């Protein structure tokens, strides 16, 4: 049963990292592996490379504790197979489109990928009784000119994901950057 080992040692826990081949995701994987966790990465490689996964194993010296699946978070069946193959204790969700300029040119594609993809992930997680999810909102207002220019569309996506996840799992969500 998922979440059974949250009070045990990291070596007994498995963390799913979506977008784990990306910059922030790969660094998160390195930190988790160095702390002794088992890490399962789901990434569609649309903005990254499988080389990042190889390097994670090489940097940590723990490739045996790292499992990679090239899966799109919109693919419910593939995600379900990942969850069925591993006893996932928690999810760190970084997967999503994030290019500011492109998000204003292709807003529907961004909503579909980021909001719908998150909904699919949350639903599959719920079906496997995984309630511990940390996710990056992909939009965090900052007090500098660059971050003030972030598209409002991305902000709305993030708020929707926050609200959807909070209603599905009250008191268990922990968005990054709050």
pLDDT (tens place) for every residue of the chain, 178 residues total: 455 555 689 999 999 999 999 999 999 999 999 999 999 999 999 989 999 999 999 999 999 999 999 999 999 999 999 999 999 999 999 998 888 788 788 888 888 888 899 999 999 999 999 999 997 654 443 443 444 444 444 444 455 455 555 555 544 444 444 4
Measured at the CA of 172, the angle between CA 39 and CA 48, to 5 degrees, comes to 35
Give the pLDDT score at 114: 87
Spatial separation of the C-alpha atoms in residues 38 and 34, rounded to whole Å: 10
CA 16, CA 20: separation in Å to the nearest integer?
9
Distance CA 50, CA 81 (A): 20
User: For position 34, what pLDDT does the model report?
Assistant: 96
Cross-strand bridge partners of residue 136: 176
Q: Where are the alpha helices (DSSP H) in 61-174?
A: 76-85, 100-105, 107-110, 117-127, 145-148, 152-168
Rounded CA-CA distance 166/158 in Å is: 12
- Token pair belonging to 134: 């940390």
């Amino acid at each position: 049963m998922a979440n059974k080992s949250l009070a045990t040692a990291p070596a007994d826990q498995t963390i799913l990292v979506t977008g784990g081949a990306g910059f922030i995701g790969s660094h998160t994987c390195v930190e988790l592996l160095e702390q002794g966790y088992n890490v399962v990465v789901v990434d569609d490689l649309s903005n990254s490379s499988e080389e990042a996964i190889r390097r994670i194993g090489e940097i940590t010296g723990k490739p045996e504790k790292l499992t990679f699946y090239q899966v799109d978070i919109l693919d419910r069946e593939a995600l379900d197979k990942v969850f069925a193959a591993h006893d996932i204790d928690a999810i760190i969700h970084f997967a999503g489109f994030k290019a500011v300029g492109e998000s204003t040119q292709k807003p529907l594609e961004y909503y579909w990928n980021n909001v719908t993809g998150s909904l699919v992930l949350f639903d599959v997680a719920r079906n496997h009784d995984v309630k511990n999810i940390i996710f990056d909102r992909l939009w965090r207002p900052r007090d500098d000119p660059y971050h003030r220019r972030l598209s409002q569309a991305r902000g709305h996506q993030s708020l929707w994901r926050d609200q959807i996840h909070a209603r599905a799992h009250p008191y268990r969500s922990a968005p990054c950057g709050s």
